Amino acid sequence: MNAARNAALEAWMAEHGHSSNSLAEAVNTALEHLTGRPGGLDGSSVRGWKAGRVRWPKSATRRALEEVSGLPVTDLGFVPRVRTPPTPASPQQEDAMKRRTLVGGIAAAAAAAVAPGNAAPRRIGMSDVERLQERFAGIVASDHRRGGQVDIEQRAAALADEALTLQNVGAATQRVRRNLYAAAAAFCSSAMWAAVDGRRYDVAEGHMRKAQTLAEMSGDQAIKFRIWSHAGTMYRHMGRPADALAANDVARALHITRRDPQFAALGLARQGAIHGAAHEPSNATRAIGQAQDAMLRADPDDHRPMWMLAFWDQAELHALALSAHLSLGDYPTAEFHAHRCLANLRPHMIRSRAITTTRLAHAQLAQGDADTATATAMKVPADAATEHARVSRMLREFTAALRATAPGSVAAQTWAEHTTTWRAAA
């Protein structure tokens, strides 16, 4: 029987102008970002998907497809595998099975009569953890598209609760239990970050405390680093640089930063942004430079967690340097890092592109170039401008600065008309 063609995938490819070869290339790039290793797909792989010969690609490929498309793979026409029904037994086999079932049932009833409970506990394995991680990949992808939204926070928190529920519904090895705690901590950390990104700091602190407890129970150095590093960023956004430095120092003191220069680089880059917020130019410049050196020492083939592969790269380092120099009032250097960040940003980093573009507009306006700054600010998508809390706040500040520095100018009038269209569409 011929396989049914995947009409949903074909329609999505046509809408977005993808050939089989270009989609294969895009997915290979996403696979490299997610796993640290290039993908091996080609046009024939995609043609197999379209023809329906491959109905459910491998898990890493599914994650990469979701990153490229911004959709769950089921929306692209892929169908999870189902178990094949067993072949009907012959009458002789059925008689034998009935006898075994009867004997087994008697034995089970006898065991149940003396056992404290009536049901054997479910066995929890690494496959359960992997299924949670696959769903987590979708949350991470949503965060990069439209970060800070309450629904992303709620989805991440609910996934953490599912991981903790598994701890109590079945038997598991110590390795599986540690991985479940690490997964739950990672999910809580993502809920925390969504709340930080949405400027819901009181809620974020609650997620942080839960994540820190779960991370300690897991013993996982990578997730401990992520949570304390997120805490440092949260306190930086709250205007508490001393607390931010203390939290980030906890992350940087973990031995994973000595084992893997990429973790050291991320910790140093965030330290540079914190020093910028604290108006410490020499410390900020030194930390950013050390972060760049550490990144260059890192082995690109080392295995790293999905959350890190999804965002940490040269573009993010430039984004943190941009934040530092903007806070310091060094606007030409801030503009330099903004352009470098935008040139290196991966396509799925939609939220980061909006933030960087807004910061670039601020740096240009502070140098007296109202026309260029306004043209830059107008590139921010309307949904980010109206729905992302950090972007909305920065654009309100941009409006105030433009009115103060260039009142009655063509740039100010153009910007006022542009923002009116946002409000009308909201």
Q: Tokens 């739950």 identify what position?
A: 184
- Of the candidates 147, 61, 144, which has an alpha carbon nearest to the alpha carbon of residue 315? 144
Query: How far apart, in Å, do the first and last CA atoms of the chain sit?
Result: 50
Alpha helices by DSSP H, listed for 298-330, are 306-309, 314-328
Residues (pLDDT < 50) of the chain are 1, 83-87, 89-119
Distance CA(168)–CA(161), nearest Å, equals 11
Distance CA(17)–CA(13), nearest Å, equals 6
Buried b / exposed e along 32-62 (16+ C-beta atoms within 10 A) = ebbbbeebebeeebbebbbebebeebeebbb
> Beta-carbon neighbour count of residue 242 at 10 Å?
10
Structure tokens at 275: 């020093």
Q: What is the pLDDT of residue 107?
A: 33
Cα dist from 217 to 35, 127, 210, whole Å: 26, 20, 11
Q: What is the pLDDT of residue 104?
A: 40
Let me know the angle formed at the C-alpha of 321 by 319 and 327, rounded to the nearest 5 degrees: 105
Distance CA(197)–CA(322), nearest Å, equals 17
| 241 alpha carbon, distance to own chain's centre | 25
Q: What is the pLDDT of residue 112?
A: 37
Summarize pLDDT for 142-175 with one digit per residue, the tens.
766 666 678 778 888 888 888 888 888 778 788 8
Structure tokens at 197: 């990104």
Summarize pLDDT for 98-110 with one digit per residue, the tens.
444 433 433 333 3
Distance CA(312)–CA(158), nearest Å, equals 25
Q: Tokens 């994540």 identify what position?
A: 211
Domain residue ranges in the chain:
7-69, 125-219, 346-426
Q: What is the DSSP letter of 90?
A: P
Q: What is the pLDDT of residue 416?
A: 92
Q: What is the pLDDT of residue 99?
A: 40
Contact 136, 190 (CB under 8 A): yes
Q: What is the pLDDT of residue 103?
A: 34
Contact 337, 321 (CB under 8 A): yes
Q: What is the pTM of this model?
A: 0.68
